[in-house]
Amino acid sequence: MSAFSTLSQRVITGLVLIGATAAILFFSTPFYFSVEVTLFVALGLLEFFNLMREGNVPVYRFFGVSMGIVVPVLVYMELGMAESGEILFIVLGCLFLFVLQFFRKDNSQALIGISLTLFGILYVSWFLSFLIKIRFLEGGAWWAAYLIAVTKAADIGAYFVGTAAGRHSLIPHISPKKSVEGTFAGLGASVLVSWALGPYLPIRFGAGHLAVVGLLIGAVGQIGDLSESLMKRFCDTKDSGRLLPGMGGVLDAADSILFTAPIFYFHLRIFA
């Protein structure tokens, strides 16, 4: 497949995802946004555990996906107001994982399997569920839209500038295609989008505050992207899946938001 064809598919897929998410955020209730997040959680967890299987890690795939789906459901039922329900559920899940391991005859990789199963639930399900918590805040639709837009601005800026003008590899042993030029372009794009959306936010932050938040979200989002690249390199695969044309898998599309969502949520709890 040519580079132009891949780019076209990537752009079309991105526009469809952004358009659908914007429509759900601004023209429907938090329930439908929570359903969308839960769907991303389920598909992302499937991809994560399939990656681990390809890396010969004996994870509990069915248990991990099933438990992971319940986490955003609990967050929705709590109306995003508390962390106690999902945290208790995760603790009980960890306990049950050990019980499951008791019935396996091969314990040579028991701790690896249990640890990575629990990590997948935390990394994909719990972190992404912070989007639901943000949606339930006052003015949550705009806060969620702002977070997604600023996070994805870094991805888009880094991709296009890195492809066109990237000369210096950022961390070649993890992601050879990511460049220093693309990284700085992504950070700049996040700041610009943060400034552009500032007037629409429920609370008016100053230009300096918006710049710092934009830089923080852009930097954390790119760390999230690199983190998934590290996992894919460990499992010796290029994409987490093939569901999204031009992008790869659901995890490839959501990786940068996994870390920015909880950090932005606690930022709002402190400053807003």
- Segments in the chain below pLDDT 70: 1-4, 80-84
Q: What is the pLDDT of residue 81?
A: 64
Spatial contact of 214 and 241, defined as CB atoms under 8 Å apart = no
Residues 106-132 as b or e (16 or more Cβ within 10 Å = b): eeeebeebbebbbebbebbbbbbbbbb
Spatial contact of 232 and 239, defined as CB atoms under 8 Å apart = yes
21 φ, ψ (degrees, to nearest 5): -65, -40
Number of domains into which the chain is organized: 1
What is the greatest pairwise CA distance in the chain?
Answer: 60
Q: What is the pLDDT of residue 144?
A: 97
Q: What is the pLDDT of residue 193?
A: 97
Distance (Å, whole) CA 262 – CA 272: 15
Q: Which domain holds residue 151?
A: 3-271
Task: Fill in the DSSP letter of residue 167.
Answer: -
Cross-strand pairs, 248: 244
Structure tokens at 64: 């991990």
Structure tokens at 235: 């499992």
What Rg value do the Cα atoms of the chain yield, rounded? 19
Distance (Å, whole) CA 34 – CA 183: 31
Spatial contact of 60 and 270, defined as CB atoms under 8 Å apart = no
At 249, the amino acid letter reads: G
Closest by CA to 217, choosing from 144, 160, 168, 272, is 144
Cross-strand pairs, 169: 179
Distance (Å, whole) CA 65 – CA 29: 25
Q: What is the pLDDT of residue 9?
A: 86
Residues contacting 156, CB < 8 A, separation 6+? 14, 186, 189
Per residue in 45-55, pLDDT (tens digit) is 999 999 888 87
Closest by CA to 257, choosing from 211, 227, 221, is 221
Cross-strand pairs, 179: 169
Distance (Å, whole) CA 120 – CA 240: 13
